Amino acid sequence: MAALQYDLIIVGGGPIGLACAIEAQKKNLNYLIIEKGAIVNSIFNYPLYMTFFSTAERLEIGEIPFNCLTPKPGRQEALEYYRNIHRYFKFNINLFEKVLDIQKQTSKSFKITTNKAHYEALNVVIATGFYDIPIEMNVIGEKLPKVRHYYKEAHEYAFRKILIVGANNSSVDAALECWRKGAEVTMVIRKNEINNRVKYWAKPDIENRIAEGSIKAYFESNITEIRENEVEIEMPNGKVTIENDFVLALTGYKPDLPFLEKVGIKLSEDELKIPIYNAETMETNVEGLFLAGVVCGGMQTHKWFIENSRIHATMIMDYISSK
């Protein structure tokens, strides 16, 4: 059976992928979104009670107001908002379908292969975010079942000895929530302070909990080994072994860089691995293949957010329609 052909296929059904679809509709482009999980899958996988740093209006797409009770919405409100966006725009979207490969054809179109079907498109936008691949610590014992790279909620860790790696927003939120639910919380922090990007209402909270001794923190330290009931930590003045039930290795996440290289996108040769693209059109070195959203930053995952990358959708669709 012949593959279905589109003007545009959008890989990723997060907020920026949806923004691309909205702009494609405005330009009367025949498009399809392919999303490997649920709609806005990354937000779905955030901690249950996460609060966004951004205010509601900065998360808006398609000029649809994001109404919520407080200035900074939580995960549940965001999911409701983006579900309503889908109800309003009635996107052409395939959920729970994973793109496996994108190949440029001699006809200048693309062949897109998923775990369910084959498609053809004149243009492709990759808007896949960065939340799928944890940055691993590469230490002995990291594969033990008690080690988690994602945090959902605190109840599982109540009255247990947990160790949290990192000092960013996710680490701080998890530490405070778990401590308040009765966990004995220890943090291992590579630098000598809590990250300055931590939400302004959480940073003094965690610093005060550490100062009073409610939460133990090892600064300028790293985990060297994880065992069934304990963890070994290397500090500036030597090693210490502590009892432990769970390790939350919230060390950050990265885009699927091997996939970008597989489909022909060049990356910078330094450790940032920033994809090569035209900053005015978002087109990569592969003609007709575009990037949108946080994936544009490579390992600089704090450069692009919903609020400052929504414009990518307009830039891409203006360029495609002009061709």
pTM score, two decimals? Answer: 0.91
What per-residue confidence (pLDDT) applies to 69? 86
The full DSSP string for 187-253 is EEESSSS--TTS-TTTHHHHHHHHHHTSSEEEES-EEEEE-SSEEEEEETTEEEEEE-SEEEE---E
Integer Cα distance of 323 and 30 in angstroms: 15
What end-to-end distance do the CA atoms of the chain give, in Å? 29
Instruction: Return the HEC string of 245-301.
Output: CEEEECCCEECCHHHHHHCCCCECCCCCCCECECCCCCEECCCCEEECHHHHHCCCC
Q: Minimal CA–CA distance to 251: which of 301, 309, 182, 296? A: 301
Q: Which of 125, 72, 62 is nearest to 310 (CA)?
A: 62
- The pLDDT value given to residue 1: 46
- Which residue positions in the chain have pLDDT lower than 70? 1-4
Residue 21 · residue 127 · CB < 8 Å: no
What's the token pair of residue 190?
A: 């590579």
Lay out the sheet containing 238-243: strands in order across: 222-226, 230-235, 238-243
What domains, with CATH codes, occur in the chain? 4-133+253-322 (3.50.50.60), 136-249 (3.50.50.60)
What residues have CB less than 8 Å from 178, skipping those under 6 apart?
154, 157, 158, 162, 164, 185
Nearest Cα to Cα of residue 103 among 118, 85, 81? 118
The single residue listed with the structure tokens 């190949």 is 103
Cβ atoms of 152 and 178 within 8 Å: the answer is no
Which tens digit of pLDDT belongs to each residue from 189-211? 999 999 998 999 999 999 999 99
Q: Which two tokens stand for residue 95?
A: 């959920």
**pLDDT of res. 71:** 83
Span 229-254, pLDDT tens digits: 999 999 999 999 999 999 999 998 98
The confidence score (pLDDT) of residue 99 equals 97
pLDDT at 132: 83
